[in-house]
Chains A and B, each alone.
Chain A
């Protein structure tokens, strides 16, 4: 009886990164054959992104300190691939209850589901800076993809600026690949990191890896500045980026010449599909952003919709693997299937440590909310629509728009191609500062379809 139900239950996983792959693996082992839909052409997600066919770099070159984990995940996926219904290069652009709207290579189709597991991952969390609309400004994640996928650097001389573990990881990957790293400029002061040490020691191995990355940069005599305040990306519209100007911890103005800059402050979850499905979000105080509200095992507020990995809660790739297994077990349990209690406890214990660690990271590399307040009126907040901080502030002061969606309607911040994925968090900080309230009170930008731009050449195919 129970098995019959399992075989007819349509389980769809969105995202073939570490969470999605471990989830699929766990489900398959229990006799449930899921559909795994992924936007990318190859599995692995962002951090374990696989290079295109024909590229021949080895694991150490590609993934550095993370090579063993990348290889293990890829091998697991290769074993699964023929046994599950894997649909790469497929964007889920919208959903209705029980049905996903997908587009693949210009063809539209629908996929029905009884259970949906969202492993949608994360993107860079960005804070605007004067001049960041100039060509040559990238996110840290974007800079990493260019290197990992296409073996290209974003520039001849690159500055890495922001804060968070990705700052050092990407800078060292560039260094290793032979790129010219002009400087690493971190907004977080040393004191914050020392203060966070007790929590970071929850994962001594990861902490050690981080220190190794830093040591590599120092050894290569890369200028590393802590506690800086970003002032401006220099350059002009014709030639793009020509440098970066910051204020150092000592209060001096420092200018670094470069032709590309990679920016980022850790990550933000990709919650649009969950939002469209009606899942509740909650404000995470530690990281000061909206996450999916799930129980410990990944059940969202909507029956039949589950989530795991950085798409619901930013804890990194290792946690995503554990969360992927755990969410699969939650679904199996909800379907009255036996689950391995020992395996489940193991995932929970690992995640508890990672929760501790992620609190340490949030403390060590804090989101620089104060920068939004200090942003000059002329700085662009929304790069898609080219809306400045001053324009956004005026919608608060002159039109009384103290809520993110209202301010968006009046100012267009968050209305462009990226649909607020790269600007709405910073926009919320600008609105909150202008209104003089806590950022939580100005809300968050509601998700609207399509999740990514939908080509008007899209053709419907009959099922």
Chain B
């Protein structure tokens, strides 16, 4: 049996893994990326496609800004078009008191680069005349936008491959061992791959691998609920999403230049992790139809032509697991992006490549450390 060696083995070929493979190659590291199914098949390929910074946890904006700078370098960066448009993003609300919350966010020093502008009342409806009368205010982010998630991870993987990365699809990991200073990954078809550094970017399956190294995390899985309309003339360049604490009010949409309106939000489904399939719940679609009519009354003239879902990993604090392992040298994680990883993808790849190849990163990722769960486990055992 042949043993394939590289500087870094990456397990999981979503956007995070593919982007990291690309940036590691740019830094001259040899890379093997192992993907059980196809590149970008689950969360990475089926999400809404929001390239949105506003509304994120303020401590994540530094990472999001780094990622945004990379989005702006597309398509040259990877020589591939991800249909990224910095079209602007509008976060709207239905209640006056929520405008104050949007204002507080816009005023935070961390959000300075976003150039947020708050709209309300007549000015709001003049600027966005298609919004329904229930919309009371909104926060406009002129530099945010959207892109095509179906294309992103495969394009990064192809770019990484062109730079010399080895990308192995249909390759399922059976076992990971660390002996001496080296990780050895054995796949279900009996192949072995080894490296001194191992990165887990396995999305909703990330905790299965982190648990093997004594770092279990309370990851939950959800299926996003997406729908798309038939195409109509391109008139709504701004991505629009509702800021609310009521789950069924959560709705967001974007129109792509070829005319279709992509819709997401509302109820999520519970994925079938055994068969790796997630359904779209009919009630989600009916709720989306209702919420869309409230947000964008003109949409009633259109039809939904397709719905889809995928499998996303969520953490209880809505923050990802990202950074080095708390227990094993040479082991790194980037998974569990809680349904908001798409915009972060290029930035996560760049940061992880920097961290793995230099031992540190200039971007703050401390809030995402896996150690936050180890700590709480310790506290729990003390409390009991």
Q: Which residues of A contact B (CB under 8 A)?
A: 94, 96, 101, 108, 110, 385, 399, 406, 409-410, 415-417, 419, 448-450, 453-458, 460
> Is B158's CB within 8 Å of the partner chain A?
yes
What are 18 A-B pairs at a CB distance below 8 A? Answer: A94-B282, A96-B282, A108-B286, A110-B282, A410-B151, A416-B230, A416-B231, A419-B306, A448-B307, A448-B308, A450-B307, A453-B230, A454-B289, A456-B293, A456-B300, A456-B304, A457-B300, A457-B301
> Is B100's CB within 8 Å of the partner chain A?
no
Bound CA span A183–B383, Å: 86
> Is B341's CB within 8 Å of the partner chain A?
no
Q: CB-CB < 8 A to B300: which residues of A?
A: 455-457
Q: A455 — nearest CB in chain B belongs to which residue?
A: B303
Q: B38 — nearest CB in chain A belongs to which residue?
A: A406
Task: Please pick, from A409, A415, A454, the residue contacting B285 in the complex, using a CB distance under 8 A.
Answer: A454
Q: CB-CB < 8 A to A399: which residues of B?
A: 154, 158
Instruction: Please tell me if the beta carbons of A456 and B302 are within 8 angstroms of each other in the complex.
Output: yes
> Is B222's CB within 8 Å of the partner chain A?
no
Q: B228 — nearest CB in chain A belongs to which residue?
A: A415
Q: CB-CB < 8 A to A450: which residues of B?
A: 285, 304-307
Interface string of B271-283 (1 = CB under 8 A from A): 0000000011110
Instruction: Please tell me if the beta carbons of A419 and B305 are within 8 angstroms of each other in the complex.
Output: yes
Q: CB-CB < 8 A to B286: which residues of A?
A: 108, 458, 460
Instruction: Please tell me if the beta carbons of B282 and A456 are within 8 angstroms of each other in the complex.
Output: no
Bound CA span A454–B286, Å: 10
Task: Please pick, from A410, A416, A454, A456, the residue contacting B299 in the complex, using a CB distance under 8 A.
Answer: A456
> Is B349's CB within 8 Å of the partner chain A?
no
> Is B254's CB within 8 Å of the partner chain A?
no
Bound CA span A448–B228, Å: 12
Bound CA span A399–B292, Å: 35
Q: B279 — nearest CB in chain A belongs to which residue?
A: A96
Q: CB-CB < 8 A to B303: which residues of A?
A: 417, 453-456
Instruction: Please tell me if the beta carbons of A448 and B151 are within 8 angstroms of each other in the complex.
Output: no
Q: CB-CB < 8 A to B151: which residues of A?
A: 410
Instruction: Please tell me if the beta carbons of B305 and A417 are within 8 angstroms of each other in the complex.
Output: yes
Q: CB-CB < 8 A to B280: which residues of A?
A: 448-449
Bound CA span A41–B237, Å: 39
Q: CB-CB < 8 A to A385: which residues of B?
A: 258
Bound CA span A399–B156, Å: 12
Q: CB-CB < 8 A to A454: which residues of B?
A: 285, 289, 303-304
Interface string of B139-180 (1 = CB under 8 A from A): 000000000001100100010000000000000000000000
Bound CA span A434–B230, Å: 29
Find residues 88-107 in chain B having any chain A CB closer than 8 Å to their own CB.
Answer: none
Distance in Å from the Cβ of B157 to the closest Cβ of chain A?
10
Q: B296 — nearest CB in chain A belongs to which residue?
A: A456
Bound CA span A415–B126, Å: 34
Interface string of B222-263 (1 = CB under 8 A from A): 000000011100000000000000000000000000100000
Bound CA span A380–B4, Å: 44
Instruction: Please tell me if the beta carbons of B305 and A416 are within 8 angstroms of each other in the complex.
Output: yes
Q: CB-CB < 8 A to B230: which residues of A?
A: 416-417, 453
Q: A97 — nearest CB in chain B belongs to which residue?
A: B279
Distance in Å from the Cβ of A94 to the closest Cβ of chain B?
5
Q: CB-CB < 8 A to A456: which residues of B?
A: 229, 289, 292-293, 299-304
Given contacts A455-B303, A456-B289, A460-B286, 20 further A-B contacts (CB under 8 A): A94-B282, A96-B282, A399-B154, A409-B45, A410-B150, A410-B154, A415-B306, A416-B230, A416-B305, A419-B305, A419-B306, A448-B307, A449-B306, A450-B305, A450-B307, A453-B305, A454-B285, A455-B302, A456-B299, A456-B300
